[in-house]
Amino acid sequence: MPLRPARCYTHFSGPPYTRKEYIPGVPPPKINKFEMGNIKGDYDLVVELVAKEAGQIRHNALEAARVMTHKYLSTSVGEGNYFFKVRVYPHHVLRENKMMAFAGADRLQDGMRQAFGKPIGTAARVYPKQAILEIRIKKENLEKAMEALRRGASKLPIKTFVRIKKIEK
């Protein structure tokens, strides 16, 4: 199996670590915009990017996917002709037990003793068949929406597929 990016934090086991009121020094997530485009438009389809497997998506990967998808949609379809939404939020706080890697570091560190770790970022936990990104669009722009989601999916560390739903009027 080929190695994929972000393999250190992609898989998870155990409960999420989310209680930020008890965790000092949690860095804020890079993603801060979750809805873009025209929210009040009259759309025919919902095109979703859906997770095939369970995993964690770091906040910077979510932001990269958001920027990539939004940029392609705004240039190809036009700003007022779609509504784009990021459906997951990075609640889970990631920790790292920082190790020193220079000569003489063995005298300064304790290895795995009390290796709880310091907060280094946040991640969104996703499960199979859960929507990550969503685009509402007219029928004639379906191919462009699918291409935008394909480009956004290339920034994510888990396998995904595109699901299309009709909006009932």
pLDDT for 5 equals 52
pLDDT for 115 equals 80
pLDDT 10s digits, 50-95: 999 999 999 999 999 999 999 999 999 988 999 999 999 999 999 8
Q: Where are the domains of the chain?
A: 28-95+117-166
pTM: 0.87
SS3 content of the chain, % helix, strand, coil (to 5): 25, 30, 45
pLDDT for 92 equals 93
Cα 115 to its chain centre, rounded Å, is: 27
Residues of the chain whose pLDDT is less than 70?
1-7, 104-106, 108
Q: Which CATH superfamily is domain 28-95+117-166 in?
A: Ribosomal protein L16/L10 (3.90.1170.10)
The residue whose two tokens read 């095109």 is: 47
What gap in Å lies between CA 169 and CA 162, rounded to an integer?
22
